[in-house]
Chains A and B, each alone.
Chain A
Amino acid sequence: MTEEERYLFDLQGYLVLRRVLPAVMVCQLNAEIDELESLADEEAAARGVARRHTTGSIYAKVGAQPEKGSGDYTCDILKAGGAFEELIDWPGTLPYIEEMIGEPCRLDAATFMARHGGGGFKFHHGYAELLPYSEYSFENGQFKCVSVKISYALSDVGVEDGCFAVIPGSHKSNYLNPLVGQIPDPNHPLVQALPAEAGDAILFSEDLSHGAVENRGCRVRRTLFYSYAPAFHAAWGRMADVAEGFERRANPRRIALAKGPSPFAHRGASQVSVR
């Protein structure tokens, strides 16, 4: 990270990286999503990519759903294999993650999310300083975050399309966040809407208050979320499960990130009684 990136991430709790995915990669990822969306729910589930429809989620505001197609949903995407596996150790983002976590880390979740017109996502986090697994931390001049996520835009998403939104600085908040549970209002003085073009990435501490403004357009917002944590953290349920044959296809770094490195081994461990 550059000095400015380090400054901004510490200050605001997020970083926007433009065009980290080349157009050809975005096309490939979208093509694979298209193919998955051509399947019925049952067929997708049989492939291990079960859709969780977000109707009824207390976080999500669900708008008008299309008469055909999958509607608003999330799914664990690594079960689909393909290009999604390449993002596990994407060279444009992984070095940032490693610096933000500050020690050997693992992938703990990889999900895809589709949001249609009318949808939004309520603010969450950004006040829960007592929540141990999302902690933003900075020690001895190093970032020591315990949960950092990457939001990859697979479609252009402006404010009117329901873009990602944050409360900059909320990763350090000491007080209850009155905006939690609300759909982000892009006009609120604390709220920063973050429009993105397909291929952009937003890296953020999970401690940052984040959500998505209401999608007032008719374009579907497509986003991939890849989440990382220190090695001693468990994966989020099955959200980091990989597809069959992954270990034959993947490079060692990718395998190490997906499986998680040795959870209790650390640099300089010989100095201490790790036992």
Chain B
Amino acid sequence: MKKVTEDDVFDLRTGTHQRTMSEEERHFFDIAGYLVLEDLLTPDQLRQAQRDLESLASFAPDTVKLHKGDFEVELLNVIEHGGILEDIMAMPRVLGYLQELIWGDQYRLVASRGTVRRPGSRRCLNQGGIADPRRYTRYRGFREGEFRCLMVTCIVALCDAAQGDGTFCVIPASHKSNLPHPYAERNLEEIVPLRDIPLRAGSGILYCEGLSYAMKSPRTRNHGWLSYQYGPSYMLTWPGCESSSELLARTARDAVKAHLLMPPYYHPLQSQKGKGY
């Protein structure tokens, strides 16, 4: 008689052995904590995204939270705008990575953001690594070659960000650091291991949120960015990023988007073959 295993009850090893990344990408992400996704958007998509972000930054509906600071305009829940800002959350190229990095098909969208950064805007260096108090950002990789990251972010540049000019920068490998970084009081330019990641407009970076990262100030003109944050299926939605009924209605027939916007869950419906407990 076949012995009943836990796999017969739940698909507890969801995503195990699913390979959607090349060996080189797997190695790079494990070591560095990020991947660069060149030309994530087509030129048309880029133009639409630039236009929509600019429009939202000047007027946002109630479903999109707008915060205007001295040097930055921040927008939360940008997918509510629809169009390309909604479509980017479900780009097959990104989702392929999430499948392997998070937990098979059990990933969901936690937050979507947009930012317009003016010269003078800068973001401090995140703590990153084990010392980061944000437990939900943890990198998790195992000797079996499986990833089970918590929050993974895809940031998309809507403008060229050349070396030192509003660039996204990281301390590679800091997602595994056992010690807090000693750079709390330093200018970004003085932090030796911090590496700029220059990007062409329309390209993106997929990174473990547990990485130490920052953004340098744009030199002369405004820079637009989008970011989409994903987590395992049981991770709650970021406050302010709850889906409106309109958004849910218009995405209901799109299996990929609907999957991303499902309420948090531990096991998919019907995956528990028995009842009780």
B250 within 8 A of A: no
Contacts of A260 in B (CB 8 A): 236
**Pairwise interchain contact B135-A266, C-beta atoms closer than 8 A:** yes
Known: A54-B277, A133-B266, A269-B134. A128 touches B113 (CB 8 A): no
**Pairwise interchain contact B124-A232, C-beta atoms closer than 8 A:** no
B235 within 8 A of A: yes
CB < 8 Å: which of A122, A124, A234, A269 contacts B234? A234
A252 within 8 A of B: no
**Pairwise interchain contact A234-B266, C-beta atoms closer than 8 A:** yes
B275's closest neighbor in chain A, by CB?
A57
Contacts of A181 in B (CB 8 A): 3-6, 8-9
A106's closest neighbor in chain B, by CB?
B236
**Pairwise interchain contact B135-A59, C-beta atoms closer than 8 A:** no
**Pairwise interchain contact A58-B273, C-beta atoms closer than 8 A:** yes
Contacts of B103 in A (CB 8 A): 132
Contacts of B214 in A (CB 8 A): 273
Among B9, B16, B150, B236, the most chain A Cβ lie within 10 Å of the Cβ of B236
**Pairwise interchain contact B9-A230, C-beta atoms closer than 8 A:** no
B115's closest neighbor in chain A, by CB?
A275
Q: Which of B238-255 contact A (CB under 8 A)?
A: 238-239
B146 within 8 A of A: yes
**Pairwise interchain contact B134-A264, C-beta atoms closer than 8 A:** yes
**Pairwise interchain contact B4-A131, C-beta atoms closer than 8 A:** no
**Pairwise interchain contact A58-B274, C-beta atoms closer than 8 A:** yes
Q: Which of A194-236 contact B (CB under 8 A)?
A: 230-234, 236
Known: A59-B276, A74-B277. A125 touches B6 (CB 8 A): yes
**A239 → B minimal CB distance (Å):** 10
The majority secondary structure among interface residues of chain B is: loop
Contacts of B275 in A (CB 8 A): 52-57
- Per-position 1/0 for A174-191, Cβ under 8 A of B: 000000111000000000
Question: What total of chain A residues lie within 8 Å of the partner, measured CB to CB?
Answer: 51
A264 CA to B229 CA in the complex, in Å?
13
**Pairwise interchain contact B144-A262, C-beta atoms closer than 8 A:** no
Contacts of A2 in B (CB 8 A): none
Contacts of B31 in A (CB 8 A): none
B175 within 8 A of A: no
**Pairwise interchain contact A57-B274, C-beta atoms closer than 8 A:** yes
Contacts of B12 in A (CB 8 A): 128, 130-131
B184 within 8 A of A: yes
A95 within 8 A of B: no
**Pairwise interchain contact A264-B266, C-beta atoms closer than 8 A:** no
Contacts of A121 in B (CB 8 A): 277
A267 within 8 A of B: yes
**Pairwise interchain contact B135-A230, C-beta atoms closer than 8 A:** yes
Q: Which of B255-269 contact A (CB under 8 A)?
A: 263-266
B78 within 8 A of A: no
A273 CA to B277 CA in the complex, in Å?
39
**B251 → A minimal CB distance (Å):** 20
A135 CA to B231 CA in the complex, in Å?
16
Among A52, A128, A135, A264, the most chain B Cβ lie within 10 Å of the Cβ of A264
Q: Which of A247-270 contact B (CB under 8 A)?
A: 260, 262-264, 266-269
CB < 8 Å: which of A74, A234, A271 contacts B236? A234
A90 CA to B210 CA in the complex, in Å?
33
A55 CA to B21 CA in the complex, in Å?
43
**Pairwise interchain contact B124-A273, C-beta atoms closer than 8 A:** yes
A5 CA to B4 CA in the complex, in Å?
34
Contacts of A231 in B (CB 8 A): 236
**B272 → A minimal CB distance (Å):** 9
**B30 → A minimal CB distance (Å):** 15
**Pairwise interchain contact A232-B131, C-beta atoms closer than 8 A:** no
A54 CA to B276 CA in the complex, in Å?
5
A233 CA to B266 CA in the complex, in Å?
9
A127 within 8 A of B: yes
A273 CA to B72 CA in the complex, in Å?
14
**A259 → B minimal CB distance (Å):** 11
**Pairwise interchain contact A273-B239, C-beta atoms closer than 8 A:** no
**Pairwise interchain contact A266-B133, C-beta atoms closer than 8 A:** yes
A-B CB proximity, top 6 nearest: A234-B264, A58-B274, A181-B4, A54-B276, A57-B274, A57-B276
Q: List 11 A-B contacts (CB under 8 A).
A: A53-B276, A55-B275, A57-B277, A58-B8, A59-B274, A124-B6, A130-B13, A130-B144, A131-B12, A230-B135, A234-B264
Binding site for B on A (CB under 8 A): 52-60, 73-74, 103, 113, 121-122, 124-125, 127-133, 135, 139-140, 144, 180-182, 230-234, 236-237, 260, 262-264, 266-269, 271-275
Binding site for A on B (CB under 8 A): 3-6, 8-9, 12-13, 16, 74, 103, 113, 123-124, 126-127, 130-136, 140, 142, 144, 146, 148, 150, 178, 184, 214, 231-232, 234-236, 238-239, 263-266, 273-277
